[in-house]
C-alpha cells in the first residue's frame, strides 16, 4: 500500500526517505513541490496529489511534511491516519516531532518505520508493542548500553502482538498503582456580531494515565452518560457494555492514552462562558479606525476564566495599531497582520479592555470586512457539559489503586464575528 515515505521540512529539503518496496526516486516529490507552490500557504496543499505514476498523500505536522508515495488503490484516509500515527509515535518517543529530533534519532526512526509497516501495510502501530520492540532513548539507557553493550532492540515477540489485547503488555509492575483521568472539554462556537450564538458544540475527550500492575479490568461509570451524543472509543473499550449499560469497561493500555472522545451537540444548549463587546470601525477616506474590545465572563458556574488570549487577523490595509490594554499585553505583527492580546485571568469587577487607534495605509480603500476574533480560555475544575464521573471500579487485581479525575474546560475553535 504505502510505497515510500519522504519527510520534507519547510524549506523544501528532503531530510529522510524510507522505501518499503523498490526504491522510488526523490524526483517524485517535485509534483509535491509544485502543488505546494501553487497552494501559497501550507494549509492549502491538497492532501491527495495525483501524478502520472503515483499518488502522493501528505500530511503536515509540526512544520514537517510527511509525503507518502502510493501505487495501488488505497483509501486516502487509511494513509492519512497512518501518517498521523507515525507522527504521534515520534512525539511519544522523542518528546517532540521536529526535524532535529528526527535527525538526531535517525536510526531509531528507521527501526520504528521498519516495524510499523511491512511491505507498505501497517504491522505494529500500538505504542505499547513498539516500546517493547524498540526502547525509547533515554540518557540513562544510552549510558548503560554503552557500558554493557546491550541494545535498544528487544529480541522476543512483544506479548501484545499475540493476545486479544494487543494494546497492553504482560507483566507490568508498579509500586504505586495509579489511575488518572482528565476530562477535557473544548467549546467550539461561532458567535455572531450581535452576540448571539450561531453554532456551538462541546468536543470532549478523556485522556488517561494508567499505571497499574498486572491485568486490571476497569469499570468507569458516569453520573449522566446520556449527555454523550457521539462517542469514539479506544479499541480497549467493550462496545457491548457501553451499548447496554452505558459504562466504560476496559483493560487499559499501560501509560498515557486517549480513552474516549465525545461530542455534546448544539441541541443541548451549550453554555458560553465569556462574552465579547467589540467596536471595530474604519472611517471612509481617512487612514485610521477605531478598535475597542472588552471581554467579560458569563455562565461560568462560579469558576474563574483564565488563560484568555485573543488573536485577530487584521485586514491587509492595517499598518499599525496603537492600543492600550487595561490588563495583559498585546502584540501586533505588521507583517502577518496578527494582533495577539494575552489577557490572562478575567476578574468580573474589572473587565479587561483593549482600546485604541488603527492606522491604515493612506490612500488604500477602507477595508470592507471586520476581522473575526479568535478567543482562547481555560476553566479549571469544570466540565462545561456537566459530565461527571461517578466511580471507577477495578477487578482482576487485588491491590487498591489510587484514583483521580480532573476536569478542565477550554475554548476550542471559538470565534466571534464582528
Partner 1 sequence: ATGTTAVRPPQGPPRGSDSEMLDSNKDSLKLEAMKRIVAMIARGKNASDLFPAVVKNVACKNIEVKKLVYVYLVRYAEEQQDLALLSISTFQRGLKDPNQLIRASALRVLSSIRVPIIVPIMMLAIKEAASDMSPYVRKTAAHAIPKLYSLDSDQKDQLIEVIEKLLADKTTLVAGSVVMAFEEVCPERIDLIHKNYRKLCNLLIDVEEWGQVVIINMLTRYARTQFLSPNQNESLLEESAEKAFYGSEEEDTKDAKAEAASLAKRKPYVMDPDHRLLLRNTKPLLQSRNAAVVMAVAQLYFHLAPKAEVGVIAKALVRLLRSHSEVQYVVLQNVATMSIKRRGMFEPYLKSFYIRSTDPTQIKILKLEVLTNLANETNISTILREFQTYIRSMDKDFVAATIQAIGRCATNIGKVRDTCLNGLVQLLSNRDELVVAESVVVIKKLLQMQPAQHSEIIKHMAKLTDNIQVPMARASILWLIGEYCEHVPKIAPDVLRKMAKSFTNEEDIVKLQVINLAAKLYLTNSKQSKLLTQYVLNLAKYDQNYDIRDRARFIRQLIVPTEKSGALNKYAKKLFLAQKPAPILESSFKGTHSACRIWGHGVVILSCNHFSFCHRPGPFPAGIPVPSSKCQGLFSTFLPWSPREWAWWPTLSRGPWQLLSPAFGAVRTYELLHRMAGEGLSVEYCFSRRPFPGDPHMVAVQIQISNNTDAEVKSLRVSEPKLLAGMRIQEFPEIESLAPGDTASVVMGIDFCDSTQAANFQLCTHTRHFYVSIQPPVGELMAPVFMSENEFRKEQGKLTGMSEITEKLTLPEKCRSDHAIVQQVTSAANVGRVPCGADNEYRFAAKTVTSGSLVLITLEWREGAAAQLTVNSEKMVIGTMLVKDIIQALAQ
Rule CB under 8 A: which of 228-247 touch partner 1?
Answer: 229-235, 239, 243
- Under a CB-based contact definition with an 8 Å cutoff, are residues 291 and 313 in contact? no
Q: Of 11, 16, 25, 21, which is closest to residue 106 (Cα–Cα)?
A: 16
In whole angstroms, give the CA distance from residue 164 to residue 144: 34
- Under a CB-based contact definition with an 8 Å cutoff, are residues 250 and 236 in contact? yes
- Asked if 155 interacts with partner 1 (CB under 8 A), we say yes
- Asked if 44 interacts with partner 1 (CB under 8 A), we say yes
Nearer to partner 1, 260 or 305 (CB): 260
Of 26, 329, 347, 380, which lies in the binding site for partner 1, with binding defined by CB under 8 A?
Answer: 26
- Asked if 33 interacts with partner 1 (CB under 8 A), we say no
- Asked if 287 interacts with partner 1 (CB under 8 A), we say no
- Asked if 71 interacts with partner 1 (CB under 8 A), we say yes
In whole angstroms, give the CA distance from residue 140 to residue 332: 44
Written as one string, the DSSP assignment of 270-296 is PPP-EEEEEEEEE-TTSSEEEEEEEEE
Shortest distance (Å) from residue 322 CB to partner 1: 22
From 78-86, 215-223, 278-286, 327-335, span contacting partner 1 (CB under 8 A) = 78-86
Nearer to partner 1, 127 or 370 (CB): 370
- Asked if 121 interacts with partner 1 (CB under 8 A), we say yes
CA distances from residue 332 to 34, 81, 260, 291, 368 in whole angstroms, order as listed: 32, 36, 38, 13, 20
- Asked if 46 interacts with partner 1 (CB under 8 A), we say yes
Nearer to partner 1, 129 or 394 (CB): 129
Q: Give percent helix, percent strand, percent coil of the chain, each to the nearest 5.
A: 20, 45, 35
- Asked if 374 interacts with partner 1 (CB under 8 A), we say yes
Give the torsion through C-alpha atoms of 109, 115, 118, 123, to 10 deg: -130
234-243 long-range Cβ contacts below 8 angstroms, 24+ apart: 234/167, 234/258, 234/259, 234/260, 235/167, 236/165, 236/167, 236/168
From 40-48, 209-217, 302-310, 385-393, span contacting partner 1 (CB under 8 A) = 40-48
From 117-125, 210-218, 290-298, 397-405, span contacting partner 1 (CB under 8 A) = 117-125
In sequence order, the 6+-apart residues with CB closer than 8 A to the CB of 62 are 87, 91, 96, 97, 98
Q: Enumerate residues 307-336 that contact partner 1 by CB under 8 A.
A: 313, 315-316
- Asked if 76 interacts with partner 1 (CB under 8 A), we say yes
- Asked if 77 interacts with partner 1 (CB under 8 A), we say yes
- Asked if 145 interacts with partner 1 (CB under 8 A), we say yes
Longest dimension (CA), the chain: 78
Nearer to partner 1, 189 or 394 (CB): 189
- Under a CB-based contact definition with an 8 Å cutoff, are residues 185 and 202 in contact? yes
Nearer to partner 1, 14 or 325 (CB): 14
- Asked if 188 interacts with partner 1 (CB under 8 A), we say yes
- Asked if 161 interacts with partner 1 (CB under 8 A), we say yes
- Asked if 157 interacts with partner 1 (CB under 8 A), we say yes
From 20-28, 268-276, 341-349, 387-395, span contacting partner 1 (CB under 8 A) = 20-28
DSSP 234: -
From 30-38, 112-120, 217-225, 277-285, span contacting partner 1 (CB under 8 A) = 112-120
- Asked if 47 interacts with partner 1 (CB under 8 A), we say yes
Shortest distance (Å) from residue 98 CB to partner 1: 14
Q: If residue 111 lies in a helix (H) or strand (E), which one and from where to where?
A: helix 106-116
Nearer to partner 1, 71 or 304 (CB): 71
Name the pairing type of β-strands 14-19 and 306-313: unpaired
Nearer to partner 1, 232 or 324 (CB): 232
From 108-116, 206-214, 280-288, 320-328, span contacting partner 1 (CB under 8 A) = 108-116
Shortest distance (Å) from residue 232 CB to partner 1: 5
- Under a CB-based contact definition with an 8 Å cutoff, are residues 145 and 152 in contact? yes
CA distances from residue 219 to 235, 246, 256, 401 in whole angstroms, order as listed: 15, 11, 17, 13
Shortest distance (Å) from residue 180 CB to partner 1: 20
Amino acid at each position: 500500500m504505502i510505497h515510500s515515505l519522504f519527510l520534507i521540512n519547510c524549506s523544501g529539503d528532503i531530510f529522510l526517505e524510507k522505501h518499503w518496496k523498490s526504491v522510488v526516486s526523490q524526483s517524485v516529490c517535485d509534483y509535491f513541490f509544485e502543488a505546494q507552490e501553487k497552494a501559497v500557504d501550507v494549509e492549502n496543499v491538497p492532501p491527495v496529489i495525483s501524478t502520472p505514476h503515483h499518488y502522493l498523500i501528505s500530511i503536515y505536522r509540526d512544520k514537517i511534511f510527511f509525503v507518502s508515495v502510493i501505487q495501488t488503490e488505497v483509501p486516502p484516509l487509511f494513509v492519512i491516519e497512518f501518517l498521523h500515527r507515525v507522527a504521534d509515535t515520534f512525539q511519544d518517543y522523542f518528546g517532540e516531532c521536529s526535524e532535529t529530533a528526527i535527525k538526531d534519532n535517525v536510526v531509531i526512526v528507521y527501526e520504528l518505520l521498519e516495524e510499523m509497516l511491512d511491505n507498505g501495510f501497517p504491522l505494529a502501530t500500538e505504542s505499547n508493542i513498539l516500546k517493547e520492540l524498540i526502547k525509547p532513548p533515554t540518557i540513562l539507557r544510552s549510558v548503560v548500553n554503552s557500558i554493557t553493550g546491550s541494545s535498544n532492540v528487544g529480541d522476543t515477540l512483544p506479548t501484545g502482538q499475540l493476545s486479544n489485547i494487543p494494546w497492553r503488555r504482560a507483566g507490568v509492575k508498579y509500586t504505586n498503582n495509579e489511575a488518572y483521568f482528565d476530562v477535557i472539554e473544548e467549546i467550539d462556537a461561532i458567535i455572531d456580531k450581535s452576540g448571539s450564538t450561531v453554532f456551538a458544540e462541546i468536543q470532549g475527550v478523556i485522556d488517561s494515565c494508567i499505571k497499574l500492575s498486572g491485568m486490571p479490568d476497569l469499570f468507569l461509570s458516569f453520573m449522566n452518560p446520556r449527555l454523550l451524543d457521539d462517542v469514539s472509543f479506544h479499541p480497549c473499550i467493550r462496545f457491548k457494555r457501553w451499548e447496554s449499560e452505558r459504562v466504560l469497561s476496559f483493560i487499559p493500555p499501560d501509560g498515557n492514552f486517549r480513552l474516549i472522545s465525545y461530542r455534546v451537540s448544539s441541541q443541548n444548549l451549550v453554555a458560553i462562558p465569556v462574552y465579547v463587546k467589540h467596536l471595530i470601525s474604519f472611517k471612509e477616506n481617512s487612514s485610521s479606525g477605531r478598535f475597542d474590545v472588552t471581554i467579560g465572563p458569563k455562565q461560568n458556574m462560579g469558576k474563574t476564566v483564565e488563560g484568555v488570549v485573543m488573536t485577530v487577523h487584521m485586514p491587509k490595509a492595517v499598518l499599525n495599531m496603537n492600543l492600550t490594554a487595561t490588563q495583559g499585553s498585546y502584540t501586533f505583527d505588521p507583517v502577518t497582520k496578527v494582533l495577539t492580546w494575552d489577557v490572562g485571568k478575567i476578574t468580573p469587577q474589572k473587565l479587561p479592555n483593549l482600546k485604541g487607534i488603527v492606522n491604515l495605509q493612506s490612500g488604500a480603500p477602507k477595508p470592507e470586512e471586520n476581522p473575526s476574533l479568535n478567543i482562547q480560555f481555560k476553566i479549571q475544575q469544570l466540565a462545561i457539559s456537566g459530565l461527571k464521573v461517578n466511580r471507577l471500579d477495578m477487578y482482576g487485581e487485588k491491590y487498591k489503586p489510587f484514583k483521580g479525575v480532573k476536569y478542565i474546560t477550554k475554548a476550542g475553535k471559538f470565534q466571534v464575528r464582528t
